[in-house]
Amino acid sequence: MAEIAALLDGSKPRTIIGIVGKPGAGKSTVVAEIQKQFSPEEVAIIPMDGYHLSNDELIQLNRRDRKGAPDTFDVEVFTSLIAKVKNELDQEHTFPIFHREIEASKADEGRVSIKARVIVIEGNYLFSDEHNWSGVFPLLDQSWFIEIDDEVRMQRLIARHIKYGKSPQEAESWSKGSDEANAKFIAKTAHKAQRIIKL
């Protein structure tokens, strides 16, 4: 968190930090710690998850069973938001927040204040060049990657799926199937990170 404090003390008007990790790696944990230590007026958090395509759209695209994969997000609108947040400092920006308990996003629930000088973008595919994600990484000023023991990560992931309504069998199947495919895809981009956070 010292890096963020230093940025707030510095002269740069706004810095965009991208935090990437495999499913269950602890992105939410890191973000929660940032939220504890800094005012949302100064440090805004934008989770990529708000840009999940709706379940109806995913059913039409025959991708519902892969929700969370790189091609199940509205990447164009997400990238557009990051560009606006980076370049339009004289405006407040709003964005959708994803709610696991209803498996859907609520529009305009998140907010970036005009005063915000550090923006933390949290998500899986921010460093990727595939599936239309290539426009995001050039917008980041800093890139952080979370590393965690894969066995611990898998246990946490299964527990999270159970918490939000899946049976133990469904949770394990999803975690070791769709989630693990995504984890391998994310791992290919880890080399782009300027900083590794070990949890």
pLDDT digits (tens, 9 = 90+) for 17-66: 999 999 889 898 899 999 999 999 999 999 999 999 999 999 999 998 88
Q: Which residue has the tokens 């599936």?
A: 131
103-155 per-position pLDDT tens digit:
889 999 999 999 999 999 999 999 999 999 999 999 999 999 999 998 999 88
pTM beyond cutoff 0.75: yes
Taken as a whole, the chain contains a residue count of 199
Give pLDDT, residue 173. 84
Pairing of strands 93-99, 195-198: unpaired
The DSSP code sequence of 143-181 is EEEEE--HHHHHHHHHHHHHHTT--HHHHHHHIIIIIHH
Q: Report yes or no: 157 and 28 within 8 Å, Cβ to Cβ.
A: no
The band of 101, judged by pLDDT with boundaries at 50, 70 and 90, is confident
